[in-house]
Structure formats: structure tokens, C-alpha cells
Amino acid sequence: MEILISEEAIRARVVELGRAIEDEYRDRQLTIVAVLTGSLVFLADLMRQIRIPHRVGLYLASSYAGAVTEPGPELRIDRRFQPDVAGRDVLLLDDILDTGRTLGTLATGLREQGAASVRVAVLLRKLGRQVVPIEPDYVGFEIPDAFVVGYGLDFDDDYRHLPYIAVLDGRGQ
């Protein structure tokens, strides 16, 4: 596997994102709502770089079933761990913006539930793949159209533990 973004580069960028988010949300009612499972590592690192009080809620979403590198037709979302967002300033967090279906659907839902504001942060933005028009407010890195794993991102539930982002080759090696 080819390393695309090193552990050191991720660490430095997460600190920068944390500082920018801190500045924007000072004196506001911040709730981060993260999309599991892919954003687990990003969430854990980023929330410790946001040194202002904030709440955390979770969605469990999946569009990739099994050993595939293309999303299936169905987007499944489990909202059981989402906190009450009415009146809160929500930062919706995901590992990667690909087609935009996941974040587009969730951002619309959060606004309908009365969030005071909804902004979007992603570690990665894959270029040339977006079909749902959603503009992320915070982007860690823009990457080319390749299937990546590591730092929370999986292939068939493997590779999430890697501390860097790598490109998976055609055979899942």
C-alpha cells in the first residue's frame, strides 16, 4: 500500500483544524455530530484539539456493504446516539466527502431538527466524485479519486487502525 498522508502530516493538520474551530465557536453552543465508523479516529484526535466546551453525538452510517470500493444504492443511518441539537451550533464531522450523499442527507436532517447552525468538517475531500452539492467548511486534505484506508477508514472493516492514510491497490492489499 502506498502512503498518501503520513501520520505526522495528519497530526499537524488536525491541530490547525482544532484551532480554527475553536476560534469560530468560542462562546457558542457547539455540538460535534460525527459519522461512525470511519470518523472515529478523527473525532477522538480533533475533539482534544478543540479546547472549548463542546458536546459530542454520533451517527452510524454505512453505504459500503462488505468487500467493495464503490457505495451501494442504499444509505443506512442509525440516529440512536444523536443528542438533541435544537438551538445548538452543530459541526457535522466525517472522515471523507465522496459523493456527498451521506453529509447532504445528514445536514438536511439536522436543520430540520432545529439546529441553530450546521457546518461540515471532513478530514478528506475526494476530488471529482461529488454528486450532492455540499460545501464543507473545514477540509483536512484534498485527495485524488482513489480508495483510501487507514486513520479510521476501512476496506471490509479492516485497516482502520493504521495511523496514516494509504491507497488500497486493486486486490485489497
**Contact indicator for 32, 54 with CB cutoff of 8 Å:** yes
C-alpha cell at 122: 471532513
Q: Considering only 8-16, 24-32, 91-99, 112-120, which stretch makes contact with ligand 5GP by CB under 6 A?
A: 91-99
Residue 38 interacting with Mg ion (CB under 5 A): yes
Residue 102 interacting with ligand 5GP (CB under 6 A): yes
Active site residue 98: yes
46 contact choice in Mg ion, ligand 5GP, none (CB below 5 to 8 Å, kind-dependent): none
Q: How far is the CB of 88 from ligand 5GP (least distance, A)?
A: 22
Q: Which residues bind ligand 5GP (CB under 6 A)?
A: 35, 38, 63-64, 71, 94-102, 126, 147-149, 153-155
Catalytic residue numbers, as ranges: 98
